[in-house]
Chains A and B, each alone.
Chain A
Amino acid sequence: MRITVRVQKFDPERDAYPNEKDYRLDIGWRASTVLDALFQIKNELDGTLTFRYSCRSAICGSCSMVINGQEKLACKTMVINEIRKHGQILIRPLRQMRVLKDLVVDMEPFWRKVTEITPWLVPQELSETPSSMSPRVTKDTLGEFHNVDACIMCGACLSACNSYEASPGFLGPAALAKAYRFVADPRDGAKDERLIDLDGVNGVWDCTRCNFCVEVCPKDVKPMEAIIRLRRAALQGGMTQTMGARHITAFMEVVRGEGRLNEGLLPIKMLWRSPGKLLRTLPLALKMFLRGKLPFPYKRPIRGIKAVRQIFETRRRATLKSPTS
């Protein structure tokens, strides 16, 4: 099969801007992955083409790149599937990281974020738990973090992360998923310290829930789900004063009360303890009011609200009790 592969090339020492180059090549049966196609280009057409790779079997995470608009592992992506779906193969380096050459980016910001979350098990005080009673990872507790343990640190999620794009300090999906892995581990002795750290600036509450990380992860880690579990753990641990935690609590109270969300009431419930912030919403509230877009902070509840409130109470109590889920 004769195909065209378009690759973004950039050598910061020679080029002012990245440019795209087309390579025409025949791929046979063996050249079935995008990584194979890249090898063929390098061997037969352009020896200067630069890209990272190692294991060739989707366990090292080296060859992540943007293929036809989505972060993927080149070694796991079949040429034929891409051609069928997109009619072409367009390869660019990971986004939001400095390009060192062609498809190789500087992963330093990624590694810095991962090291920031103390990515190792902090042992519990031995004197408190005699060895026979020390916590073990059982089949049940393993289920809590097996998804995040599958992470191969390829950087695809950070490249696709919308919050990171807007706020480079944000810890990002991979680091937070890794942090969750240790919070969920019964052997870890620093769970509380971790949650307090993650609850702060650039932490779990800066995720915008865009789901890009879940969509692009080649190992089905679902980083955003791990972030949501960290938020839940913070709530269950009594850390209820962050804006994010207040948002969840206020949102739930409004829906429990009226059955529906009321945009006129939510900011009041959420921000009444921060008068400055509440004041800041006033000019907008006034403009909304003038256009008939500001719901009155009290609306008549939906019909059947009594049963809805009963469901709310039952679930709320149960969720607050259970340590995970």
Chain B
Amino acid sequence: MKLFRQLPIPARIAAVVLFVALGAAVVSPFLGTDAATRIDLTNRLASPSTAPPLGTDELGRDVLQRLFHGATISLGVAGAAVLLSAIFGSLLGLLAGERGGFLDASVGRLVDLVLAFPGLLLAVALAAVLGPSALNTVLALSAVGWVPYARLARSEARRVGSLDFVSAARSQGATSWRILLRHLLPNVAPPLAVQATLHLAGAILAESALSFLGLGVPPPAPSWGAMLAGGRTHILDAPHVVMAPALAILLVVLGTNLLGDALVDRLDPVRRRSL
């Protein structure tokens, strides 16, 4: 709460928006997905009104319900991808930086190789061959997402690893894993946390892009990108079907960026200065 009051006002608004979205994401699975996937062809493309507040989509499904359940999928998949990327990338980077030698060289080559692809392209290709599912989307996003963590952790591990306290621990016979987890990780965690904050907005965008292209979580599950794609053909007669998920994506990503910038200011003033 103290942190909240220290944030600039736009970041506070962003925090509230994200809190609402996260709330929807957490609560909606308990309400049952029935209302979000029930098809009612007699009530297609109904305009926003009192009954379904945001109207219905091309199959007569309640847009507001779908928006809420879409939050679970879009934020859940993006969050899982960030978590998996951060854990895998950080550990691999730390290990490479600490051990050096062949492992370090191999990780370096692997990083170069993944960076040879434009990020989203590799995710699209992987999602295409693996087939659409929530797990595959997380895997496809993480296959690309771990790289910045690995680079950061590797260079930080090298820097911290050459400091005296690590040499002291090593001379006392501490194992690689012990040095890695007890000494390196706590010291490199803040920049990695900043990276994760910045990564989240990108992951939400990438998940929506994949589901927009029909490569994300398969229908009838509502995901914001898929809702956008579905409503696109009816943009003429029922613009609300497109506007609702478009605004949801925009607000959440804008909120994540704003809050991320504010948190970067607080957590990592050095990085901020270099920007």
Chain A partners chain B: no
Residues of A within 8 A of B (CB): none
Residues of B within 8 A of A (CB): none
